[in-house]
Amino acid sequence: MNVKPDTDLTAQPLRRADELEEALGNCRLALIQTVHAMSAVAARRDQFTAHHQLRVAELSVAMGRRLGLDSERLEGLYLGALVHDIGKIAIPWEILSKPGAFTAAERSLVESHAQIGADILAPLILPWPIQLIVAQHHERLDGSGYPARLRGEAILPEARIVAVADVFQSMCDDRPYRLALGIDPALAELERGAGVTFDADAVRALQAIAAAERSVEALWGSLAVDAHDAGAYACALERPHGAAFEAPPGIPVSWSSSPLATPAGACRAQRAEDPHR
Ligand SMILES: [Fe+2]
């Protein structure tokens, strides 16, 4: 066999470097798509949580950018936020949608979603700390959170950002036990916890982003454009679940259209107990 030798030896390492870079890029894309696939599976069961996660992901990225995170960390932040509640797939829908206060057993079950989510993601070897974001998004600076009662800087910065975005989005959206509170009351609630339960820098970043917006709808609209312009998340920003969320029969996309929704004033005690469960 007459195999013509490649005489340009200097080109070989360059070619291999290009191929290696392309292979790494493909691996990264496959991992991003894997996280999206997991999110999509969970969305088939619970569109409401999928919608919440997408909003939290967009807001978290805007906050992270303001806090100076580089594109690598922003990518991980987006993906972690996109599946931060994936553990709720293991919680009965009847409990998640309960309009009244939880019993102790129900609360314990719901709170298990953070660890369940981390366990679901554990087999994936990822270049981003997504499992930690999922595991820690309900931890609080003063140790009052769950599941590990972590304190302060023992909580990953990305998880501290998602924690603030999570609570804010929850309070700006209808829930089975109350209707949406609005931007200003939500910001005020977070301001009370800044430096105590919530990362003060993350709260400041949220305030800078949200305070100027006229409405929650305007805020989410501006975030979607902002995140897309950054171009750092490849397919992550193609809105994997579609612009419109089509809920299965009996499962409301918005609780305001749900028969479970209650007037905001009728559940003030519940709100005071836990405005963002
Ligand atoms: Fe959660």
CA of 114 to the centre of ligand 1 (A): 6
CA of 232 to the centre of ligand 1 (A): 25
Residue 235 pLDDT > 60: no
Average pLDDT over residues 31-52: 86
Neighbours of 128 (CB within 10 A): 21
pLDDT, tens digit, for every residue of 192-211?
999 999 999 999 999 999 98
Residue 103 pLDDT > 80: yes
Helix H segments across the chain?
11-45, 47-66, 71-82, 93-96, 104-111, 113-121, 130-136, 157-171, 183-193, 200-210, 216-230, 268-273
Alpha-carbon dihedral sign for residues 227, 207, 216, 132: positive
CA of 169 to the centre of ligand 1 (A): 11
Picking from 122-136, 189-203, 204-218, 260-274, which range would have the lowest pLDDT averaged per residue?
260-274
Q: Which among 17-21, 49-53, 188-192, 244-248 has the top mean pLDDT?
A: 188-192
Residue 67 pLDDT > 90: yes
Residue 5 pLDDT > 50: yes
Residue 271 pLDDT > 50: no
Rounded Cα–Cα distance for residues 10 and 12 (Å): 6
CA of 259 to the centre of ligand 1 (A): 23
Tokens of 261: 């929704």
Domains in the chain (CATH in brackets) are 11-273 (1.10.3210.10)
pLDDT, tens digit, for every residue of 212-232?
787 888 888 888 656 554 444
DSSP string, 225-265: HHHHHH--SGGGGS-TT-SS--PPTT--SSGGGSTT---GG
**Do the beta carbons of residue 66 and residue 205 sit within 8 Å?**
yes
Rounded Cα–Cα distance for residues 111 and 139 (Å): 11
* 98 carries an active-site annotation: no
Identify the residue with better confidence: 43 or 149.
Answer: 149
Catalytic residue among 52, 73, 84, 88: 88
Average pLDDT over residues 125-130: 94
First-to-final CA distance of the chain: 72
274 alpha-carbon distance from chain centroid? 19
Residue 137: its H or E element: none
Q: What is the pTM of this model?
A: 0.79
For residue 255, which of 53, 29, 48 has the smallest C-alpha distance?
48
CA of 144 to the centre of ligand 1 (A): 15
Instruction: Classify 42 as helix, strand or coil.
Output: helix
CA of 126 to the centre of ligand 1 (A): 21
pLDDT at 26: 82
Rounded Cα–Cα distance for residues 139 and 112 (Å): 12
Average pLDDT over residues 96-109: 91
For residue 163, which of 220, 81, 226, 90 has the smallest C-alpha distance?
81
Rounded Cα–Cα distance for residues 51 and 251 (Å): 13
